[in-house]
Amino acid sequence: MSRTRVVRPGPVLVEGRAWSGHAPVTRVELSTDGARTWRDADLAPAQGHRWSWRRWQANWHATPGRPTLSARATDAGGHTQPLDAP
């Protein structure tokens, strides 16, 4: 199994789901440069229960090369997802 994916250069919609076991998700950030810099993704409105998964998306302009994309969530309690699982 590989995490490597191939996309054509140009606009790409990156999307996912975020959840926290501590508090509702209030922010998701995306990095396209190996976690050196981060920018906010767009969060969809909360659906159903306050502990539900939260949809997010961000536009990215892919260029030739081998970028490393990462996403991290932050919840209402201030807990930010670590890049490496404990």
Task: Give the sign of the dihedral formed by CA 13, CA 16, CA 22, CA 23.
Answer: positive
Residues 6-52: tens digit of each pLDDT:
899 999 999 999 999 889 999 999 999 999 999 999 999 988 777 78
pLDDT at 1 over 70: no
Q: CA-to-CA distance for 46 and 30, rounded, in angstroms?
A: 19
Residue at 65 is within a domain = yes
70 Cβ partners below 8 Å, 6+ apart? 30, 31, 34, 35, 83
- Mean predicted confidence (pLDDT) in 54-58: 97
- Look at the chain and report how many structural domains it folds into: 1
Pairing assessment for the beta strands 42-43 and 39-40 based on DSSP bridges: unpaired
Model-wide pTM > 0.85 = yes
80 located within any domain: no
Q: Is residue 83 part of a domain?
A: no
For residue 66, the domain's CATH number is 2.60.40.650
Each residue's pLDDT tens digit, 60-85: 999 999 999 999 999 999 999 888 88
Determine the Cα–Cα distance for residues 43 and 17; give it in Å rounded to an integer.
Answer: 9
